[in-house]
């Protein structure tokens, strides 16, 4: 019984290693966006922008978080970010990503608008 359990665990480990080699598993950012450092990464990417209005822009933000390899929670949608700041018209969309030791990472959608 003990021997079969160890064999089962070994198969799981080998499967995880093989899937990461063949890009089936992403150990970086939860979305696979941008460069990922094994120890630390933090960056912002502008995804879209249009001519800015003269009014002061509001900022809405929505995030998802990944803890470990198996647990991801949150909502990083544009809709959620606009609702968080009561934005009616979007002028700029950005993605912010942070990664610590590939154990904890966040992906946030930042929306600027009026």
- Do the domain assignments include residue 6? no
Beta carbons of 58 and 87 less than 8 angstroms apart: yes
The structural domain count of the chain equals: 1
* Average pLDDT rounded to a whole number, residues 55-59: 93
Distance CA 66, CA 72 (A): 4
Nearest to 100 by CA among 52, 30, 6, 51: 30
Query: Which residue is listed with tokens 């904890």?
Result: 104
- Do the domain assignments include residue 102? yes
- Do the domain assignments include residue 9? no
What pLDDT, in 10s, does the model give residues 10-56? 777 777 665 555 444 444 444 455 566 668 888 888 888 788 888 89
pLDDT above 80: residue 112: yes
Predicted TM-score (pTM) above 0.85: no
- Do the domain assignments include residue 101? yes
What pLDDT, in 10s, does the model give residues 81-109? 999 999 999 999 999 988 888 788 888 99
């Amino acid at each position: 019984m003990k021997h079969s359990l160890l064999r089962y665990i070994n198969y799981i480990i080998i499967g995880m290693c093989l899937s990461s080699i063949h890009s089936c598993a992403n150990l970086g950012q939860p979305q696979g966006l941008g460069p990922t450092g094994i120890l630390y990464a933090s960056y912002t990417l502008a995804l879209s922008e249009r001519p800015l209005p003269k009014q002061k822009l509001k900022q809405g933000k929505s995030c998802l978080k990944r803890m470990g390899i198996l647990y991801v929670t949150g909502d990083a949608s544009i809709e959620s970010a606009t609702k968080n700041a009561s934005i009616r018209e979007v002028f700029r969309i950005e993605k912010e990503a942070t990664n610590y030791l590939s154990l904890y990472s966040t992906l946030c959608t930042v929306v600027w608008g009026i």
